[in-house]
Structure 1
C-alpha cells in the first residue's frame, strides 16, 4: 500500500520543521520534496496538460511539502494520520485536490505522461532548465532562498523555483535545486547563467553549506571549487597524479571548468 499527500505552509521553514518532526517521531518516509510556490508550477505540468488550468493553491502558501509512505496498510494509514496531525499543529493545510498530488507523483516517480506533452521536453521549447544544485544547512534555507531571488535578478534570469530533495532516511539532509530558465541560444544569457551558478555556489559555502551535492562538480565547478576546498584541492589532484598519472581511471573526469574561471572565487 502507498499513500501520497501534500500540504502547504506559510514559510519554507515551517515545511522543513514538519519534515524534521515526522522523522523525529519515527515515521518512515518513502519520499519527500519541498517546493517553493514558483517551482510547483514546473512540477504540475502534467496537471495543466490534463485539466487545462493551474492548480488551486492558497494565496498565503509559500511552500508545499509532498510526501509518501509505503508498506502494510495499517502502518501506512497510521503514518499518514500522524503526519496530518503534525501538519495541523504547524499551521499547515492538507491539499484536498487529489489530481494535483497525483500529478506531482506522476512527474517525479512515474512515466505515465501524456504523449509528447511531458514537462521534459515540453516545458523546454523556448528556454531550458538550468540550476545550481547546492547543499544548505536547514536553519539557513530561508536566507538562501532570499539570496537566490536576488542573485537570479542581478543576472537577469527568470526564476523557475526551488526544490528541496530529502536525500537520506532518518535525518533531514537536503539537496536543493535553485533553478532558472536559460535561453541556450543566447550566448550572453548562457554566460550570465554561469555567473549565477558561481555566485550561488559561493553563497552556499558562505552559509556553511556545499556547492555540490549529488551532482559532480567537474564541468560545472572544477577549479572554481577551490573556494570550498582550499588547499585540499591541491592534495586531491596530487593523489590523482600519484595513483593515476595517465588518467586511465574515470577518463571523463574534468578538473577544471570551461565555464567558470578559478579566479571568480578568489
Structure 2
C-alpha cells in the first residue's frame, strides 16, 4: 500500500526522457517518486519525455507514491503536458505544478485533469517572489494538497545567494501559510550532491522550521532525509509522556521532567504520534 501524501517525507525526481532511470526511482526508498517533464528535460527532448513518462506509472511499487512534474500551465509546454497525461493508461497520483503564482494555476490544472474517475493530488511549487506575495490565496485553493519550495529558481529570480540565511524568510513564509491551510510543506533539494553533512544540517533546520519533508535529486540523499524526518524512539517516548501527562492533568498546565506542558505542547505531541501511527487513545498508549 502506498503511503498517504500527508506522510510523505522524502521526494525524488527523475528526468522523463531517461526511462532507464525509472526502475531505480521506483525502488530507491523515496516516499514519492516524480517523473519530470520540466527543468531536467532539454527542450528538444520534451515530446519524447511526455510519451516515455507514461511508462513510469504502469509499474506500481508498494510504499511509493508516483507522480509527475509538468511544465508551467501558463506555457504551451505545460498545456501539452496536461493533454498528454489525460491519455496515459495509468495516471499519476501526484501532479506537481511549477511556477505557481495564483490559485488560478491550480484550478486550471484541475479543470483539465479532473474526471469522475480520477482526481490527482495537486502540489504547488513555490519558487518566485510573486508566489510568496500570493501564498495566502494559493494555499486556500480547494484542490491544493501541499506546497514545495523551489530554492534554486527563487534565488535566481531574486538574485539572493542560495544559502540558509538569504532563503530563511521565504521558507518561513511558506511554512506559515501551509500550516494555516493545514497542508504539508516540502523543502527544496540540497544541490551539493556529495556534501551529506551539509544536507543533514539543512534537513534538520527545515524540520525545526516546520517542513514535513524534503525533496532530492539523487538517491544517496534519501537515507539522510529519512533519518532526519523520522521521529526517533526517544522522541516518540517523550511525546507519549506528554500526551499522558496532559490527559491526567485534564487540560491544566503540568510538567514532564521539569518542562512545562500545556495544551499546545500536547497538541504537537499528539500530531507527532499520529504521523508515526504510535497512539490509539487519549493517554498515549498504543
TM-score by length of 1: 0.27
TM-score by length of 2: 0.25
